Amino acid sequence: MNPLVDRSFAGSIPELYEKLMVPLIFSPYAADLAARAQANAPSAVLEIAAGTGVVTRELARVLGEGTSIIATDLNQPMLDHAASIGTSRPVQWRQADAMQLPFADASFDMVVCQFGAMFFPDKSIAFNEARRVLRPGGVFVFNVWDRIETSELADEVTRALAALFPADPPRFLARTPHGYHDRDQITRDLTRGGFTKPATIDTVQARSRADSPSLPAIAYCQGTPLRNEIEARDSSGVARATDQATRAIAERFGDGPVDSWIQAHVVCVST
């Protein structure tokens, strides 16, 4: 699979991502990261891989007016959607590649990244950039999904699409969002990125809820780059894939409201 396809959040994806994926799986972890940022009382925060701004909005809500916030993402359509939603106070939105940040050394007290590290082509390079722009004593905090079996809906959707495309199963969710869960690998990449202090890695469980099985099916099949992978196999197959995923989720959780587990690692390391 072309890695650029895994990182393409364009077309209708940003709107569906914000409308469906954010409340489904991202909101509880955004609150968690924002609380960790608040506890450190930073004066200047850089967010990388900000997506449609769920963490940015939480940071703006809990951090004082005196704390500057710059929110960046590689994908301009995601940033545009984030900016259109807005925040409770001004923040700066800026397109930027985490692999080559356009900021001076020692510019920030904290770098925050929610579920973005999995998409970095070379994690150690991106981590080195985060370290470079941090001031002495600054903190890098980020989260990554645990293995796919610990997030029940993502696992169910992946299994459903494997049955639909048995010759070439779409593996985006397992390969990329849930593909960077090994704690030892994360620690090695941080060390290669120049961090010399030990990182703390907390495993945090949360609940993923939806009013019906169709909503998470639409969210995953149409509001993430999984859509690109489905269309690469069948240009008109998105509706069929969504129906397949809906049936699989209903078989596991019932036809009514869905309540499932999600699990992620939260990593904190200082300079």
pLDDT in tens, 153-209: 999 999 999 999 999 999 999 999 999 999 999 999 999 999 999 999 999 999 999
Q: Do residues 33 and 141 make contact, with C-beta atoms less than 8 angstroms apart?
A: yes
Say how many C-beta atoms besides its own lie within 10 A of residue 239's C-beta: 12
For residue 236, give the CATH number of its domain. 3.40.50.150
Mean pLDDT of the chain, nearest integer? 95
Q: Do residues 261 and 225 make contact, with C-beta atoms less than 8 angstroms apart?
A: no
Describe the crossing of helices 152-164 and 214-222 by its angle, rounded to 10 degrees.
Answer: 70
**125 vs 119: CA distance, rounded Å:** 12
pLDDT at 1: 45
Q: Do residues 172 and 145 make contact, with C-beta atoms less than 8 angstroms apart?
A: no
Residues of the domain holding 93: 3-270
**15 vs 76: CA distance, rounded Å:** 13
pLDDT in tens, 131-149: 999 999 999 999 999 999 9
The stretch 2-11 carries a mean pLDDT of: 48
Residue from 189, 198, 181 nearest 266 by CA: 181
Is residue 10's pLDDT more than 60?
no
Non-local CB neighbours of 239 within 8 Å, separated by 6+ positions: none
pLDDT in tens, 213-247: 999 999 999 999 999 999 999 999 999 999 999 99
pLDDT at 209: 97
**22 vs 182: CA distance, rounded Å:** 24
The stretch 48-62 carries a mean pLDDT of: 97
- pLDDT bracket for residue 3 (50, 70, 90): low
Q: Number of folded domains in the chain? A: 1
